[in-house]
């Protein structure tokens, strides 16, 4: 779904300036289960609430109070509404209102600009190291090569590649794997179609990995995923932190300080969830990846 029009509505919705029809349409969209838009609205509301604090504080002049009261007293004695006889000057209280409106408008623009930077300023995704056969869209890759939306990264037997998400995280793709970059705007979204992926992420980083049987979402944690396309199953481990998963439309949470794993097996008629031990990755591998990242 194209979220460009929705994002514009979200910005207006967070400021309370949508008309009734647009507001109803947007609320129905979010109630349909769009987690991206819900998260985006939370961010925009937070930014909107901070608009008043975006400018530095400045102490008013000592004579300001006297001037304000003198102005108010003058308005009581000579009330003016609209324009004077010449029709080219607004009454003082109208000028004050326009000044306030202009300040609010400037603050809103500043806040929207900050949100745009936040949404579009994701760090580049680059290959930091590799060995063995590593391909991007079927062509041999090189160290420091950038990945773009729609790119597919594959590894051959005994191959391995590490991917840097700017300053937000580091992931290691194992052998005989296939990984596709779906999105890097609001969140980092990946599709792991085959093989294993070990990720170390900075706190607050929005990161989502989709496999054949689940969608795993995190905001900064260490986790591991391995897919088995031939068996229609996925192994997921929350190594440290909280892992949110959506399995066949049902949300599930894995929370761990020292590994909590699950095997998701999909059959023709149902999905089985099986608690699992520590497989396919080790604490030594995690420490090595953390050392490379931090």
Q: What is the tens place of the pLDDT at every residue in 147-156? A: 888 999 999 9
Higher-pLDDT residue of 260 and 271 is 260
Per-residue pLDDT tens digits for 33-73: 777 777 777 667 666 665 655 555 556 666 766 777 777 77
Mean pLDDT of 185-203: 89
Query: Two tokens at 188?
Result: 């980092």
The pLDDT of residue 155: 96
Cβ partners under 8 Å of residue 279, min gap 6: 226, 235, 237, 261
pLDDT band at residue 139 using 50, 70 and 90 as cut-offs: very high
Q: Residue 207 pLDDT more than 80?
A: yes
pLDDT for 194 beyond 90: yes
For the stretch 73-131, pLDDT in tens is 766 555 544 444 444 444 555 555 556 666 666 666 656 555 544 444 445 789 999 99
Mean pLDDT, rounded, of the chain: 79
Distance from the Cα of residue 86 to its chain's centroid? 54
- CATH 2.60.120.1440 segments of the chain: 125-293
Q: 112 versus 290: which is more confidently predicted?
A: 290
Six-digit token string for 144: 């420091």
Return the pLDDT at 210: 92
Q: C-alpha 29: how far from its chain's center? A: 18
> Does the pLDDT value for residue 283 go beyond 90?
yes
How many residues appear in the chain? Answer: 294
pLDDT > 60? residue 17: yes
Mean pLDDT on 16-37: 78
Amino acid 266: pLDDT: 80
HSE value, Cβ hemisphere, 13 Å, CA-based, for 53: 5
Q: Residue 64: what pLDDT?
A: 65
Mean pLDDT of 242-252: 85
Burial class (CB in 10 A: 0-12, 13-18, 19+), 8: exposed
pLDDT at 129: 92
Structure letter (DSSP) for residue 53: G
* Angle CA 128–293–123, to nearest 5: 65
Helix, strand, coil fractions of the chain, as percent rounded to 5? 35, 35, 30
Residue-level pLDDT at 82: 47
Q: What is the pLDDT of residue 116?
A: 47
Band the pLDDT of 160: cuts 50, 70, 90. Answer: very high
Three-state DSSP class for 263? strand
Q: Which CATH number fits domain 125-293: 1.20.58.1610, 2.60.120.1440, 3.30.565.10, 1.10.8.350?
A: 2.60.120.1440
How high is the pLDDT of residue 76?
A: 57
Average of per-residue pLDDT across 274-293: 92
Q: Cα(187)–Cα(207) distance, rounded to whole angstroms?
A: 6
* Model pLDDT, residue 20: 82
Gap between the Cα atoms of 86 and 88, Å rounded: 6
**Residue 118: what pLDDT?**
46
């Amino acid at each position: 779904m194209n979220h460009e029009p929705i994002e514009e509505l979200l910005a207006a919705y967070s400021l309370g300036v949508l008309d009734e029809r647009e507001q109803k349409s947007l609320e129905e969209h979010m109630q349909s289960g769009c987690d991206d838009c819900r998260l985006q609205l939370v961010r925009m509301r937070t930014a909107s609430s901070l608009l008043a604090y975006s400018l530095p504080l400045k102490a008013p002049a000592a004579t300001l109070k006297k001037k304000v009261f003198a102005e108010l007293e003058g308005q009581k004695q000579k009330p003016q509404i609209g324009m004077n006889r010449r029709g080219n000057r607004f009454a003082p209280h109208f000028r004050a209102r326009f000044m306030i409106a202009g300040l609010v408008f400037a603050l809103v623009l500043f806040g929207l600009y900050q949100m745009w930077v936040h949404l579009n300023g994701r760090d580049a995704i680059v290959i930091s190291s590799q060995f063995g056969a590593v391909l991007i869209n079927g062509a041999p890759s090189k160290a420091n090569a950038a990945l773009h939306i729609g790119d597919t990264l594959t590894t051959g037997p005994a191959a391995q590649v590490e991917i840097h998400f700017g300053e937000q995280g580091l992931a290691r793709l194992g052998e005989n794997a296939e990984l596709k970059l779906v999105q890097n705007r609001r969140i980092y979204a990946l599709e792991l179609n085959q093989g294993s992926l070990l990720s170390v992420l900075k706190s607050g980083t929005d990161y989502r990995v989709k496999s054949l049987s689940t969608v795993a979402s995190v905001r900064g944690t260490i986790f591991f995923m391995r897919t088995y396309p031939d068996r229609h199953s996925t192994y997921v481990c929350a190594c440290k932190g909280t892992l949110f998963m959506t399995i066949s439309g049902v949300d599930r949470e894995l929370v761990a300080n020292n590994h909590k794993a699950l095997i998701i097996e999909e059959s023709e008629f149902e999905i089985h969830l099986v608690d699992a031990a520590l497989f396919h990755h080790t604490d030594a591998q995690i420490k090595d990846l953390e050392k490379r990242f931090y």
